[in-house]
Amino acid sequence: MSLRPELAAIADMIRPGTRVLDVGCGDGELLDHLVRAKGVDGRGIEISQQNVNACVARGLSVVQGDADTDLAEYPGGVFDAVILSQTIQATEKPAKVLTDMLRIGRRVAISLPNFGYWKVRASLLAFGKMPRTRTLDYNWYDTPNIHLCSLADFVDLTQKVGATIVEAHALDVNGNTRRMKPDAVNRGYLGPNLWAPGAIFLLKKN
């Protein structure tokens, strides 16, 4: 079973044999890959009980929990990397979640959808209604994605919480990745903010 390209790109950021926490690990696809293929000491938090049970049945160390409230209880610096895949936009307090993750892990790998993507902008401009895209396919009133942002917004947040982007990849519509220059991104040069539907960043605390 091969990983989706987006998850494979995150997996590439993780060093073998390290200790990793996957926040919002879903059914454990990425975590399972990291444990089996890279020998990481992998742990997960997942909000859906059904997903947690599926993870544990496949032998993963996963607890039922909520990133908004439960990250606070983890001690600082015990994980080499903390992963947050396509989840930050669904948290109640993204800044707090990101701050907690930077405290818990030496590196934070995070993927997110881009609300600055040109199709999103064009849709809002053309129809005057909240856009629906392939990655954000919800009505405004029933979406779990309560804190959407553009890539530029996210880069602003990383600076606000005292983090530096050490690696960056733009995602295309199929989830394939294209490497960005982290220095340029940190300085705000962000072409993909217009053309990429999403991105993956690897952060470290300053």
Partner 1 sequence: MAAPFKSKAGLLFVDRGARGSKLASTMVEQPRFTRSVTAHEADKGQAITFAEPLPLDCGRSLSPVTVAYITHGTLNAKKSNAILICHALTGDQFVASANPITGKPGWWISLVGPGKPIDTDRFFVICTNVIGGCMGSTGPADIDPATGKPFGLTFPLITIRDMVRAQKMLVDALSIEKLFAVVGGSMGGMQVLQWAASYPESVRACIPIACAARHSAQNIALHEVGRQAIMADPEWKNGEYAIAGTFPSKGLAVARMAAHITYLSEAALQRKFGRNLQNRSSLSFQFTPDFQIESYLHYQGAAFVDRFDANSYLYITRAMDYFDMAEEHGGKLADVFRNSPTRFCIIAFTSDWLFPPAENKHVAHALNAVAGNVSFVVIDSDKGHDAFLLDEPEMYAAVDGFIDSVAREVVIT
Q: Is 68 in the site for partner 1 (CB under 8 A)?
A: no
Using rule CB under 8 A, residue 73 touches partner 1: yes
CB 109 within 8 A of CB 10: yes
79-118 mask for partner 1 (x: CB under 8 A)?
A: x---------------------------------------
Q: How far is the CB of 16 from partner 1 (least distance, A)?
A: 16
CA angle at residue 171 from 66 to 10, to 5 degrees? Answer: 55
> Is residue 58 within the footprint of partner 1 (CB under 8 A)?
yes
One character per residue 34-53, x = contact with partner 1 (rule: CB under 8 A): -------x-x-----x--xx
Neighbouring C-beta atoms of residue 162, cutoff 10 Å: 11
The rounded distance, in Å, linking the Cα atoms of 111 and 100 is 16
Given the complex with partner 1, which of 79 and 154 has the nearer CB atom? 79
